[in-house]
Chains A and B, each alone.
Chain A
Amino acid sequence: MIAGLAERLRRELGPGRVITDRQELRTYECDGLAHHKVVPALAVLAQSTAQVAATVRACAEAGVPFVARGSGTGLSGGALPHADGVLIVTAQMRDILDISPADERAVVQPGVINLQLTRATTPAGYYYAPDPSSQQICSIGGNVAENSGGAHCLKYGFTVNHVTGLEVVTPDGSVTRLGGRALDPPGYDLIGAFVGSEGTLGVATEVTVKLTRLPETVRTLLAAFHGVDQAGAATSAIIAAGVVPAAIEMMDALAIEAAEAAVACGYPPGAGAVLIVELDGPAAEVAAQFDEVVALCEGSGAFEIQIAADDSQRALFWKGRKSAFAAVGRISPDYIVQDGVIPRTALPEVLRRIDELATSNGVRVANVFHAGDGNLHPLVLFDDAVPGEAERAETTSGAIIDLCIEYGGSITGEHGVGADKAKYMPRMFGDDDLDTMQLLRCAFDPAGLANPGKIYPTPRLCGERPGRHTAGDTANRDGAEVF
């Protein structure tokens, strides 16, 4: 079957687009979550919407599953290939099609790298606000699929708040355009439904995004505390004062140690926790609020506060934070990046309990997180060479997710459910919740070919429809609705 499909795709897409060589296919065996590996049966390097559509159509007709892949930086195994399926790589669709400051919109192909868009729009006084730490390498298509956030989404929102138009190849292979530059297209909010659907509703082939005006002023401080409790208290105090910073990021002692070892970011020695607080906006506003934030940090026990004097010092503050995941590799041979959310006010308590978990399981946990919105990224450190450590790390990481649920939070704030966390979905949602979500999937993809096995632990059979089907039926005279 795959051989026939490969032949058809070679014919339709032309030379160089279809990969069947097993060695070449290995390049795509995993995303950023490297311990899940599956070699796809076939990969397609798409260069246009038409090529994506032709591929999906061929998959639909052959009943073969397909998985979209952007840059492959996802951390939940979302782009993990299907062994008997086609991997559709959109990384080569990387043209910025239009930048319109007058409309405050840009139109891009899905393979465009997040930071490239910001770089391209800065000369006109704009930027693309969602800024995942991976922004130098991740694609806008991947951002759309994951509803990615970043340090600055505390103030500016996530990908979904910045997408106003999509061109989508739906799982039957047809091309649908949704929205555009104007807001509020009539009908259901299909853009809202598609963003964050992790490649399970189709492939995004063009994205229209909002551009955000560059703020007049940006001011950033780095506050050092003796411990995470104080830093957590400072965060709460800032929010309680009615300040909405662009970002509040926290790192604990172990994360600081790793960052220092990796990038020598120069954080104050002896800090048990640091906060990076950034305010942006009109100079007149930022000035007053910045003084207030400094006072609140001091009041919560900050023993040193550094204020970025210029862009390069600001970049240094951020360098430590943004490199934290990789930096942990300096102090531990292996680690798990966890992503969970708790109500911000539960922060000190949850951090204490994570500490207890780590101690009782005999592993170390470094904490890096978006403190402003309670999005934790505990990094569970272990050495795979030590028998049993990997299991204990896995147990700890899973227990942290249970903590997030216990405190009313979420099993993922930005990395997505993917292949990795599907098993946790029933802990956060009931059967009826998951069933209802999958009604949406059935509407887009009744055959279940788009990225199967991701998000939902148990796929819903789309044929079955609960309840009696009588109420409005007689009124559908035009026959447009099919049951």
Chain B
Amino acid sequence: MTALDELTRPAGDDDVVGGVPARLVAAPRDTAEASALLAATQDLTVVIRGAGTKLDWGPPPRALDLIIDTRHLAGVVEHAAGDLITIVRAGTPLGSLDLGEQLLALDGPAGATVGGTVATATSGPRRLHYGGVRDLLIGITVVRADGKVAKAGGKVVKNVAGYDLGKLYTGSYGTLGLITECAFRLHPRPQHALFVRAVAPPAEAARIRAAAIAPTAVEIDSATGELAVLIEGTPDGVRERADLLAKLLNADISDKSPEWWGADPWAPGGIGVKLSVPLSAVPTLAAGPDAVRGSAGTGVLYAAAAGITEVERLRAACVRLGGHAVVLTAPPDVRDILDMWGPTPGLPLMRRIKDQFDPGHRFAPGRFVGGI
């Protein structure tokens, strides 16, 4: 067993998660080192940190001994262009990926790491066409609470051998283990893209679907009353489809997205809420008292809430419509009295999963649903 002080350093002033200071920080350089680290520190509680773009998401940890920083677990392991796949280390920033004529279709801040994006399962406008993290991730390498290294999936897109643990780790908020490598399916970079923009009610999204123009994204912003559609493909095809849609919606065509496109509607330090509802309920949600922004094509939207009353109102609306509202981020005073995750069907099963994968509850205790 490697000595603890060779693997870690004392925490500094910035090594804080949700107001909870850590004692130690480690930045392993590869999966083997991460494995040794986790094996050697089994009685320490851990929060995993990527670029830190979403470290204020979720409730604060109940306890925090060690921050595992993934910054040195970076770089592309493989990019097989002919097979449309890539294997990337978890600490790699999304924005640093150079895949040539190909595209890893994850929307997210450029600084966000691949691992952080998988762990929080963030998605943006293009999910409508390309799918979300769960749809693009084809293989995963993780280090468990006891330091053992496990792989699931693989590097081929089609594969049903064994349980697809990548799905379980997607959106697990670092509560099941350390993700060190991810394999993704890629898409060809579209030759051309245009935006069709209109001031139009969200209900128009239904007409866009009926028009069979196969949009990449359909976004609404209830504050401005705008609706914008991204169309990708061949230059001629895109132009023709955009013209058709522009006529249908009485809209403008632009090669630029609106300013609000894919941007979080909340200010830093504010309350940010993720909403998901059935597609038919998007207009109802958008007509409510709270401004919402997001996809009328997938039913995943976001809102800035002014306070607890607004959060509860939004959550009640989503639940009534058959969906969910999760508070992603909130200032400490709000966070302390708010149920950030909301009602969670299947919670008993989730607790059992946590107990199996992390029997000592060392990974991000308290950060996840139901206090997991």
Binding site for B on A (CB under 8 A): 100, 102-105, 125, 146-147, 149, 153, 157-158, 160-161, 170, 176-178, 180-190, 192-193, 195-197, 213-216, 236, 239-240, 242-244, 281-282, 284-285, 287-289, 341-345, 370, 373-375, 408-417, 421, 425, 428-430, 432-437, 439-444, 455-456, 462, 465-476, 478, 480-483
A213 / chain B contacts, CB cutoff of 8 Å: 209, 212, 214
Q: Mark B174-186, 1 if CB is under 8 A from A, else 0.
A: 0010000000000
- Provide 13 A-B residue pairs closer than 8 Å at the C-beta atoms, listed in order of the A residue: A183-B300, A184-B324, A193-B163, A239-B82, A344-B82, A410-B159, A410-B161, A411-B161, A441-B163, A467-B146, A469-B359, A475-B365, A480-B371
Tell me the B48-81 residues at the A interface (CB within 8 Å): 62-63, 65, 80-81
Closest residue of A by beta carbon distance from B213: A282
Binding site for A on B (CB under 8 A): 42-45, 62-63, 65, 80-85, 101, 121, 131-132, 134-135, 142, 144-152, 154-165, 167-168, 170-172, 176, 187-189, 191, 206, 209-210, 212-214, 233-234, 236-237, 240-241, 274, 276-280, 298-300, 318, 321-324, 326, 341-357, 359-362, 365-366, 368-371
Q: Are B237 and A288 in contact (CB under 8 A)?
A: yes
Contact A285 to B159, CB < 8 A, known contacts A176-B346, A187-B350? no
State in angstroms the CA–CA spacing of A213 and B163 once bound together: 30
Closest-CB distance, A157 to chain B (whole angstroms): 6
Closest-CB distance, A209 to chain B (whole angstroms): 13
Q: Are A149 and B149 in contact (CB under 8 A)?
A: no
Q: Are A467 and B145 in contact (CB under 8 A)?
A: yes
* Inter-chain contact total with CB atoms closer than 8 Å: 325
B131 / chain A contacts, CB cutoff of 8 Å: 157, 161
Closest residue of A by beta carbon distance from B62: A475
Q: Are B171 and A188 in contact (CB under 8 A)?
A: yes
Contact A161 to B80, CB < 8 A, known contacts A103-B278, A373-B156? no
Q: Are A188 and B353 in contact (CB under 8 A)?
A: yes
Contact A186 to B161, CB < 8 A, known contacts A285-B241, A475-B62? no
Interface of A is mostly: loop
Contact A282 to B212, CB < 8 A, known contacts A178-B346, A408-B156, A432-B149? yes
A468 / chain B contacts, CB cutoff of 8 Å: 42-43, 360
Q: Are B154 and A188 in contact (CB under 8 A)?
A: no
State in angstroms the CA–CA spacing of A342 and B142 once bound together: 23
A478 / chain B contacts, CB cutoff of 8 Å: 371
Of B81, B299, B324, B360, the residue contacting A471 (CB under 8 A) is B360
Given contacts A193-B164, A466-B148, 6 further A-B contacts (CB under 8 A): A186-B342, A189-B134, A192-B170, A216-B212, A344-B82, A443-B352
Q: Are B241 and A282 in contact (CB under 8 A)?
A: yes
Q: Are B160 and A147 in contact (CB under 8 A)?
A: yes
B321 / chain A contacts, CB cutoff of 8 Å: 182
State in angstroms the CA–CA spacing of A278 and B206 once bound together: 27
Most buried by B among A417, A442, A471: A471
Contact A483 to B240, CB < 8 A, known contacts A193-B164, A240-B82, A374-B83? no
Closest-CB distance, B240 to chain A (whole angstroms): 4
B214 / chain A contacts, CB cutoff of 8 Å: 213, 215-216, 281-282, 285
B154 / chain A contacts, CB cutoff of 8 Å: 408-410, 428
Q: Are A288 and B159 in contact (CB under 8 A)?
A: no
State in angstroms the CA–CA spacing of A215 and B211 once bound together: 10
Q: Are B362 and A471 in contact (CB under 8 A)?
A: yes
Of A104, A240, A289, A441, the residue contacting B279 (CB under 8 A) is A104
Closest-CB distance, A417 to chain B (whole angstroms): 6
A147 / chain B contacts, CB cutoff of 8 Å: 160, 164
A375 / chain B contacts, CB cutoff of 8 Å: 158
State in angstroms the CA–CA spacing of A98 and B157 once bound together: 31
B361 / chain A contacts, CB cutoff of 8 Å: 471-473, 475-476, 481
Which 5 A-B residue pairs are closest in the complex by CB-CB distance? A192-B167, A472-B361, A242-B188, A471-B362, A436-B150
Closest residue of A by beta carbon distance from B123: A184
Contact A440 to B163, CB < 8 A, known contacts A103-B280, A157-B131, A285-B241? yes
State in angstroms the CA–CA spacing of A125 and B210 once bound together: 8
Of B158, B240, B298, B341, the residue contacting A373 (CB under 8 A) is B158
Q: Are A100 and B236 in contact (CB under 8 A)?
A: no
Contact A284 to B158, CB < 8 A, known contacts A190-B350, A467-B145? no
B155 / chain A contacts, CB cutoff of 8 Å: 343, 408
Closest-CB distance, A79 to chain B (whole angstroms): 15
Q: Are A483 and B355 in contact (CB under 8 A)?
A: yes
B150 / chain A contacts, CB cutoff of 8 Å: 432-433, 435-437
B278 / chain A contacts, CB cutoff of 8 Å: 100, 103, 105, 180-182
Interface of B is mostly: loop
Q: Are A425 and B362 in contact (CB under 8 A)?
A: no
Closest residue of B by beta carbon distance from A407: B156
Q: Are B164 and A196 in contact (CB under 8 A)?
A: yes
A197 / chain B contacts, CB cutoff of 8 Å: 163
Q: Are A193 and B341 in contact (CB under 8 A)?
A: no
Q: Are A192 and B134 in contact (CB under 8 A)?
A: yes
State in angstroms the CA–CA spacing of A467 and B240 once bound together: 61
State in angstroms the CA–CA spacing of A187 and B170 once bound together: 10
A410 / chain B contacts, CB cutoff of 8 Å: 154, 156, 158-161
Q: Are A436 and B144 in contact (CB under 8 A)?
A: yes
Contact A414 to B160, CB < 8 A, known contacts A187-B346, A408-B155, A472-B45? yes
B352 / chain A contacts, CB cutoff of 8 Å: 443-444
Most buried by A among B62, B146, B155, B352: B352
Of A170, A242, A441, A443, the residue contacting B101 (CB under 8 A) is A242
State in angstroms the CA–CA spacing of A146 and B318 once bound together: 32
Of A192, A429, A433, the residue contacting B168 (CB under 8 A) is A192
A195 / chain B contacts, CB cutoff of 8 Å: 164
State in angstroms the CA–CA spacing of A266 and B347 once bound together: 56
B360 / chain A contacts, CB cutoff of 8 Å: 467-473
State in angstroms the CA–CA spacing of A474 and B356 once bound together: 18
Q: Are A157 and B280 in contact (CB under 8 A)?
A: no
State in angstroms the CA–CA spacing of A160 and B361 once bound together: 29
Q: Are B168 and A440 in contact (CB under 8 A)?
A: yes
State in angstroms the CA–CA spacing of A285 and B344 once bound together: 42
Closest residue of B by beta carbon distance from A153: B158
Closest residue of A by beta carbon distance from B353: A443
Of A176, A414, A471, A483, the residue contacting B158 (CB under 8 A) is A414
Closest residue of A by beta carbon distance from B325: A186
Closest residue of B by beta carbon distance from A147: B160
State in angstroms the CA–CA spacing of A409 and B155 once bound together: 7
Q: Are B159 and A341 in contact (CB under 8 A)?
A: yes
State in angstroms the CA–CA spacing of A225 and B90 once bound together: 43
Of B121, B152, B233, the residue contacting A285 (CB under 8 A) is B233
State in angstroms the CA–CA spacing of A474 and B318 once bound together: 35
Q: Are B189 and A437 in contact (CB under 8 A)?
A: no
Contact A188 to B168, CB < 8 A, known contacts A182-B323, A215-B212, A410-B158? yes
A103 / chain B contacts, CB cutoff of 8 Å: 278-280
State in angstroms the CA–CA spacing of A187 and B322 once bound together: 16
State in angstroms the CA–CA spacing of A429 and B163 once bound together: 11
Q: Are B366 and A433 in contact (CB under 8 A)?
A: no
Contact A472 to B168, CB < 8 A, known contacts A282-B212, A432-B150? no
Closest residue of B by beta carbon distance from A287: B237
State in angstroms the CA–CA spacing of A70 and B366 once bound together: 40
State in angstroms the CA–CA spacing of A425 and B81 once bound together: 28
B188 / chain A contacts, CB cutoff of 8 Å: 242-244
State in angstroms the CA–CA spacing of A189 and B120 once bound together: 12
Q: Are B42 and A187 in contact (CB under 8 A)?
A: no
Closest residue of B by beta carbon distance from A170: B349
Closest-CB distance, A195 to chain B (whole angstroms): 8
State in angstroms the CA–CA spacing of A444 and B326 once bound together: 25
